[in-house]
Amino acid sequence: MKYKRRVKSKPAYNLFIDGKWVKPKKMQEVISPITRKVCGYVPAATVEECNKAVSAAVKAKKKMAEMEAVERAEILDALGKGLRENVKSLSKIIMMEAGKPISLATGEVIRTAETLEYAAEEAKRIDGELLKSDSFPNMPKKLALVVRQPVGVVLAIAPFNYPLNLAVAKIAPALAAGNTVVCKPASDDPMCVFEFAEIARRAGVPKGVLNVVSGIGSEVGESLINNPKVDMVSFTGSTKIGKHIAERARFKKLHLEMGGKSPSVVLKDANLDLAAKESVKGAIKFSGQRCDAVSRVLVESPIANEFAKKVVKEVKKWKVGDPTKKDTQIGPLINERALHRVDELVKDAKKKGAKVLLGGKKLNGWYYAPTVLDYVTPKMEIAQEEIFGPVVVLMRVKNYEEAIKSANNSRYALHASVFTNDINKAIDAGMRIEAGGVQVNGAPSRGPDNFPFGGDKESGIGREGIRYTIHEMTKIHSIVLNL
């Protein structure tokens, strides 16, 4: 059976289970944020179909675990090559189903190919260590061979904002480590992951090693999380859902990358032009629909007025429009629900005293005007919750110490930025800000993929970044030799 059909002139994808395309019992629509119309159909998997996907992954575990590292590397390289050969078509699919500007969609596909290629290299570098017992007195002579083994079946649950890249950011390290995978792509934009599964099939990924099922998270995701044969859950998404997964997963290994409220700390000695440019990019790139987005800018009061003017000037440079145009930088939000949520956050801030310097309103379709809010206070909801919209939030602080305190005043701790020309304050802030990572004089970023990325507090468990994810997706195994 082919991987997709045509239904009402739109692509309709099948389930990918055990290396084969399987016609699903039920289908669901994919709505394009650009046209607000159906752009395709994907499976609405049943519990029975989910169980079949897990069983296929279980069946393939032994073969994958015993596969030599060089073979796993060859598979990953072939997948990377397959993506590079399909950049144009995949970019168009991501653009249409996610509403992502074509330039960003193209960048996502290329970056995903790079992720696979780097994972291929890391597959050959998974090593262990040799330990001796002579560090302890009166201990019999022993040697411990400590190796890393695959955890088994990894459930990869991907979000909508980077639908291809963040799915493969889980799949690639999982395969590099010798695991098998059941992937549940985001419900809003899953078609690109089914396209990737077809590339995997053509690249010769063994049967059962990669399986892709789609559907509503509360049904499909719940079924997969509850399956006792799943050994690990790797999830990227909201903190609310991440907490639910943690409660349901019981003894499964967890790798959770969840919400963020990334602060950008702008000190009075900073290069304000650079700070404005990077803070704006961090806040509104892909319409702010990123967990690492700059969600609040903490600026020292003596420079706040000047900085606010620079921010407004910078935001005005960003072009809102048709995602098919190469010069478009901001497209629509993912769905109508997201649009209303952003608007409600902005309205709440205005009602409580925030000043709108730019934007602050819905546009036609699911677009929201790039917005700058000044005089935001911690009492406003927009100062505490993820925005996931193109909004720059300016919060004025008295001095450096208050900036650090405010940066840490959040239940999230994913990423942060600090802008300063004082190397001592840069290092001090980098050490004291509670976050998985702190950028100095740059916007928060998940890449490059050899760097660790992840959060503390309610922002997650574990770290991503290919080598770090491989470590998360392996387990320590010891063989002790008594001499």
Residues annotated catalytic, as ranges: 257, 291
Give the gyration radius of the chain's Cα atoms. Answer: 23
Interior CA angle at 420 toward 404 and 448, to 5°? Answer: 90
Using omega within 30 degrees of 0 as the cis cutoff, is the peptide bond preceding 448 cis? yes
Q: What are the percentages of helix, strand and coil residues in the chain, rounded to 5?
A: 40, 25, 35
Q: Provide the token pair at 65.
A: 């675990």
Which residues does 447 contact at the CB level (< 8 Å), separation at least 6?
A: 111, 453
The bridge status of strand 142-150 relative to strand 129-132 is antiparallel
Question: Quick one: which of 75, 177, 67, 70 has its CA closest to 472?
Answer: 177
> Cα torsion at 175, 177, 178, 184 (round to 10°)?
-40
Amino acid at 337: R
275's enclosing H/E stretch is: helix 272-284
Strand partners, 142: 482
Which residues does 238 contact at the CB level (< 8 Å), separation at least 6?
A: 258, 259, 386
- Tracing tokens 């000044």 back to the chain, one arrives at 374
Question: Quick one: which of 221, 277, 292, 239 has its CA closest to 447?
Answer: 292
